[in-house]
Structure 1
Amino acid sequence: MTVVLKLGGSVITDKDTPETVDRAALDAASSTIAAYGDTDLVIVHGGGSFGHHHAAAHGVSRTAGTHDDTAVRDVHRAMKRLNEQVVDALAAVDVPAIPVHPLSVAHRSMEDELRLPSQQVRTLLTEGFVPVLHGDVIGHEAMGATILSGDELVCALAEALSADRVGLCSAVPGVLDGEDVIPEINDFEDVAHVLGASESTDVTGGMAGKVRALLDLETPAFVFDRGGLEPFLMGRQPGTRIG
């Protein structure tokens, strides 16, 4: 079974304090992942307080490009710093984590199509590694560089690898309608009225962007909080099922 798991930036960092890892949360998530090693697992993590603040400061987003080389370096280096800490936390509990940096392999075409070669990820899986990718800045034809979100990566990898399950570990227990978790979403318009913007700096679309992207998948996807990570890895259906 192939599983694509995203650790949201709000889960593993203090999203309101620049470049601050939530060490206890990251270590707890890593230990949970280490306990369930029988599947082919690809991990993607968000930018949290690392990438988002730099992207916002430079005015670059999914749709607003930049030709400023300093901006590209700032965003990418911040994400590499976070990725290194995620990989190290996983390795510390014997997860065979290997970093994969999207800037080096992905780009967008002039038609706004994401091109993400996946054979390197597939080979790493076959050889027993756990690839760890992250949101990043990537080249974009005619726009310089734009942001590639972790959610986009999750969807692209799920399709390319024919994943069996997709999980997004978020700061909330699922997609919420007030205080209640919506158990299942099959149409964006059914929940559009309850999806607002993120309270923290987020240049990738917040919960609305997650739901839209996941609805395009054929693979079942789940949005859950830290408490849902273990049930998800055990094959259960925590939080909100999307699609």
Structure 2
Amino acid sequence: MDNSNITILKIGGSVITDKSADDGAARMDEIERIAGEIAGFEGKLIIVHGAGSFGHPQVKRFGLTGKFDHEGSIITHMSVRKLNTMVVEALNSAGVNALPVHPMACAVSENSRIKSMFLDQIEEMLANGFVPVLHGDMVMDTEMGTSVLSGDQIVPYLAIEMKAARIGIGSAEEGVLDNNGEVIPNISNANFDKIKEYLGGSANTDVTGGMLGKVLELLNLSEGSNSTSYIFNAGNAGNVSGFLNGNNIGTAISGAGTRSI
């Protein structure tokens, strides 16, 4: 399959849910707005969305980052599936031929890192004009029983395995911000040490490493694939469609020392 024109779009859980809620609270207006912005895109697209309040509070409640728990794993998986169903239904209502892909059913981790992922159905979906929609999930883990698999880890894995051309991370921030609240236009290995001090965790419950975790995953991706990723604010109307239309917005993360055009 020709993967040269695959776009991967991540929509953060902080954008489509109230991440400060103790249990799943979806922002349906945001989900529907973003679905509408995605609807105009005609290329091959993979969507990954975060779990937000449908996953992070549950993981914390059951202590799932440190121990195996049957009930906690099931409750968390069923919760993130609910959010995924809302996203997929909104996309289909907007005219996007979206299908759910649950990582619990196709990925296996080892010590919280993806060991293998069955991608054949994703390739067939793309070849036949569907938009696969993955999400942060609990997955089986060869060392831990189950572990948390974040969307921030799924995106670079898919990007490398499927040789995606363009990666967008729609977060609740304008990009990666410095200590004055200004967007850092480019992050690469050349300047990472200098800006690392600006990168904290998330303001709300985040079990996957916040902005620092995102940047580290994307820097590793840029080294493995020569690709550029963009972190931008998906909460601003027009940014998702702008990214899909080819605009370079927010913070660019690449292996090079200068911003890719």
Query: Distance in 2 between the 1:155 and 1:52 partners?
Result: 20
TM-score (norm. length: structure 2): 0.89
The code of the aligned residue for 1:179 comes to: G
What's the CA shift string for 1:145-193, capped at 9, x where partnerless? 1100001010111111110000000000100003100000002323210
Using the size of structure 1 for normalisation, the TM-score is 0.95
Percent identical pairs in the alignment equals 40
Q: Paired residue for 1:216?
A: 220
Amino acid at match of 1:127: N
Quick check: 2:111–2:147 contact (8 Å CA) kept in 1?
no
Following the alignment from structure 2 to structure 1, what is the Cα–Cα distance between the partners of residues 64 and 215?
22
Which of the residues 55, 60, 72 maps onto 1:56?
60
Q: Which residue of 2 aligns with 1:77?
A: 78
Q: Corresponding residue for 1:42?
A: 46
Match of 2:32 in 1: 27
Counterparts of 1:198 and 1:157, CA distance in 2:
24
Taking the aligned partners of 2:251 and 2:89, their CA distance within structure 1 comes to: 30
| Native 8 Å contact 1:116 1:156 kept in 2 | no
Q: Which residue of 2 aligns with 1:225?
A: 233
SS of equivalent residue, structure 1 residue 169: strand
* 1:218-243 deviations in Å (ceiling 9; x for gaps): 22100000232122111110000001
Contact 1:96 1:130 in 2 (8 A): yes
SS at match of 1:163: coil
Given that residues 76 and 136 in structure 1 are in contact (C-alpha distance below 8 angstroms), is that contact kept between their aligned partners in structure 2? yes
1:182 lines up with 2:184 in the alignment: yes
Of residues 188-197 and 1-10 in structure 1, the stretch that sits farther from structure 2 once superposed is 188-197
Asked if 2 retains the 8 angstrom alpha-carbon contact of 1:26 and 1:89, the reply is yes
Q: Name the counterpart of 1:173.
A: 174
Q: Helix, strand or coil for the counterpart of 1:201?
A: coil
Matched, 1:235 2:221: no
Equivalent residue number for residue 101 of structure 2 = 100
AA aligned to 2:108 is H
Moved over 4 A (4+): 110-113
Contact in 2 for aligned 1:175/1:223 (Cα 8 Å): yes
Letter in 1 for 2:55: G
Task: Provide the rounded CA distance (Å) in 2 between the counterparts of 1:111 and 1:168.
Answer: 21
**Compared with structure 1, are the counterparts of its residues 111 and 83 closer, same or farther at alpha carbon in structure 2 (3 Å cutoff)?**
closer
CA displacement at 1:142 relative to structure 2: 2.3
Task: Tell me: CA distance 1:127–1:206, structure 2 relative to 1, closer, same or farther (3 Å).
Answer: same
The yes-or-no answer on 1:192 pairing with 2:229 is: no
CA RMSD of aligned residues (A): 1.3
Contact 2:109 2:116 in 1 (8 A): yes
Give the aligned residue type for 1:240: T
In structure 2, C-alpha distance between the alignment counterparts of 1:112 and 1:200, rounded to whole Å: 23
- Pair 126,189 (structure 1): closer, same or farther in 2 beyond 3 Å: same
SS at match of 2:54: helix
Unmatched runs of 5 consecutive residues or more in structure 1: none
Q: How many residues align?
A: 239
Distance 1:106 1:203 in 2: 19
Quick one: structure 1 residues 203 and 111, their matched pair in 2 at CA, closer, same or farther if it must change by over 3 Å?
closer
